Structure 1
Amino acid sequence: MAPLSDSFQPFEYDTAIKVLADSSDLKAVPSKFKFVNEPTGLNSDSLPIIDFSALTANDPDQRSKAIHDVGKACQEWGFFILVNHGIPEFLMNSLATATREFFNLPETEKKQYEAKSASDPIKCGNFNVTNTSNQTFTLWRDYLKLYVHPEFHCPLKPPVLKEILLEYTKRIRELTRKLVEAVSENLELDQHYVDEVLKLDSSFQLFATNFYPPCPEPDKAIGLPPHTDPGLFTFLIHNGVAGLQIQHDGKWFNADSPQNSILVNVADQLQIFTNGRCKSVMHRAVVNDERERISMVVANGPSKEAIMGPAAPLVKKDGRAIYRPMKYIEYVEAQLVKSRVNGKPILEQMMIEEDDQVVN
């Protein structure tokens, strides 16, 4: 599979993939979507499962074990399945229904949200990606991306989406704060220091929903190529159809999840802030030839204005910083426009070589 280059055009609105899939009896993937890959992933009984209720338990031993488990999952897998998180199942199901209603809107309704720049708070369309062999292909999906905190943005239709999304993203912010606290406590970071750096009261939160219709040739198209996320933690739920795969020890694993659970992965700024201890893992979305898949993703970051570099106490402990600092919103917008620079992920570009230390 040829690596992606720095040519990444995320804001083109072409005919929606849903329209293409609904309007014809496709037997093969059209050439513009062709991306040869091996979509099969491994299954594992070792995927970490975190019981969120234990983090808020009155029993100190139970809570201490949960904090240890979160830290271990973030450092070894960069991913975990969150259960007993307290978000009502009906709210999650309602969000799936509302987002599907959006994708069912007429094309004229959706096209008005075609983004003109990376900073547009509402974006709708699909992605074109160019690899290092100068081959351009379109991803097998339609998407909607919204900035939902500290300012909330949402399409006018369907009307029910706004209320559901406000409640769901608020609850996700609460979960994020607790998980950040757990990671901080596990690394013996002062919570006041963490709050001062991350400024979570004004955290920048992005919601994305993706529609992946059945694909006649799943090995010749892809929903999302391998990538990492900006932010601290990313939360993902879906409509009951799995498709997320994560990379671990150089192999791809299926990230299947029990009903009413949430898939959570460490994102780039948590890896940077912990000076490499927590791992922002590569993951991808594969497609299938039988059922449509809808994923609903919430990316949770620090404040847009937060300067994200390694935590000072960890730098002191390690003897050096592994990553350069950068304002969070600049990182987000850079990644939206260019997933890779000179063939390398942006996170890798942020690394500091031992002979190239930044003097603060």
Structure 2
Amino acid sequence: MVVVSKPAIEQFYYTRTNKPTPALFTQIPLVDLSNPDSKHQITKACEEFGFFKVINHGVPMEFISLLESEATKFFSLPLCEKQETGQPKPYGYGNKSIGMHDDVGWVEYLLLTTNQDPNLHRFQSFRLALSNYMNSVKKMACEILETMADGLKIQPRNVLSKLLMDEESDSVFRVNHYPPCPEEKLAAS
């Protein structure tokens, strides 16, 4: 999920249109994919705004919940086990403090290609959860991309979706974990 502030939305709209943001566009367009009018809503959002948020997307909640659970288990492992996925070059496990002086916070992450990443060989349940989730998300994304192509009269219809489904796709999946700040960092603040 991405949260965009109202000033950012206004700046984006002005940059695209060179006009002040109309009151109608002070919110990101919301497209309910279960609504029969969703195809029209997608086209309108693309033409007038450039992006949109979808709800009722059809990605099973059980896939989302299972992937969240597996990610939580992964980040609960000892550091040496997490590092078995490889150092981020660019894919794999990474952890680093953030901020100019290592004093803002901590983050650890797992960055993977969306095509079965071999670095998860030891984490079978994570791989399965990720595979189920990614297959469902890719299917939904392809449907949206083809709807966009139809509505914007882009030919061929699958020109965008085939980029996503290509075995050489550069799509990535990243999950972040923000562990609690160590006590010594809290005392120094």
TM class, shorter-chain normalised?
A: 0.5 to 0.7
Query: Equivalent residues in 2 for 1:182-221 (5 A)?
Result: 182-192=147-157, 194=159, 198=163, 200-202=165-167, 203-213=169-179
Three-state SS of the structure 2 residue aligned to 1:146 is strand
Determine if contact 2:31/2:52 at 8 Å carries over to the other structure. Answer: yes
Report the counterpart of residue 242 of structure 1 in structure 2. none
Counterparts in 2 of 1:215 and 1:109: CA distance versus 1, 3 Å: closer
Q: Which amino acid aligns with 1:50?
A: V
Q: Which has the higher contact order (CA 8 A, sep 6+)?
A: 1
Deviations 1:98-142 (CA, angstroms, capped at 9, x unpaired):
100000001111123342633xxx411135779xxxx56576311
**CA–CA separation in structure 2 for the residues paired with 1:79 and 1:140:** 31
**CA–CA separation in structure 2 for the residues paired with 1:94 and 1:185:** 34
**Match for residue 86 of structure 1 among 45, 55, 58:** 58
Determine if contact 2:164/2:171 at 8 Å carries over to the other structure. Answer: no
Q: Which amino acid aligns with 1:210?
A: N
Report the counterpart of residue 165 of structure 1 in structure 2. 130
Report the counterpart of residue 8 of structure 1 in structure 2. none
**Match for residue 124 of structure 1 among 79, 89, 93:** 93
Determine if contact 2:106/2:180 at 8 Å carries over to the other structure. Answer: no
Q: Which amino acid aligns with 1:80?
A: F
**Match for residue 179 of structure 1 among 140, 144, 149:** 144
Report the counterpart of residue 147 of structure 1 in structure 2. 113
Determine if the alignment matches structure 1 residue 47 to structure 2 residue 28. Answer: yes
Q: Which amino acid aligns with 1:159?
A: Q
Shift of 1:165: 1.0
Determine if contact 1:98/1:158 at 8 Å carries over to the other structure. Answer: no
Shift of 1:92: 1.0
**CA–CA separation in structure 2 for the residues paired with 1:155 and 1:210:** 16
Query: Equivalent residues in 2 for 1:1-360 (5 A)?
Result: 46-54=27-35, 62=36, 65-74=37-46, 76-115=48-87, 117-118=89-90, 122-126=91-95, 135=100, 140-149=106-115, 151-192=116-157, 194=159, 198=163, 200-202=165-167, 203-213=169-179
Determine if contact 1:50/1:82 at 8 Å carries over to the other structure. Answer: yes
**CA–CA separation in structure 1 for the residues paired with 2:142 and 2:161:** 13
Q: Which amino acid aligns with 2:27?
A: S
Determine if contact 1:147/1:153 at 8 Å carries over to the other structure. Answer: no
Deviations 1:41-69 (CA, angstroms, capped at 9, x unpaired):
56x98232211234xxxxxxx3xx42232
Q: Which structure 2 residue ranges, 5 or more long, are not aligned? A: 7-24, 183-189
**CA–CA separation in structure 2 for the residues paired with 1:85 and 1:79:** 15
Q: Of Structure 1 and Structure 2, which has the larger fraction of its residues in helix?
A: 2
**CA–CA separation in structure 1 for the residues paired with 2:88 and 2:127:** 23
Shift of 1:210: 0.5
**CA–CA separation in structure 2 for the residues paired with 1:170 and 1:196:** 13
Three-state SS of the structure 2 residue aligned to 1:47 is coil
Determine if contact 2:28/2:52 at 8 Å carries over to the other structure. Answer: yes
**CA–CA separation in structure 1 for the residues paired with 2:30 and 2:127:** 31
Shift of 1:201: 4.0
| Identical pairs, percent | 27
Report the counterpart of residue 5 of structure 1 in structure 2. none
**CA–CA separation in structure 2 for the residues paired with 1:100 and 1:45:** 35
Counterparts in 2 of 1:112 and 1:163: CA distance versus 1, 3 Å: closer
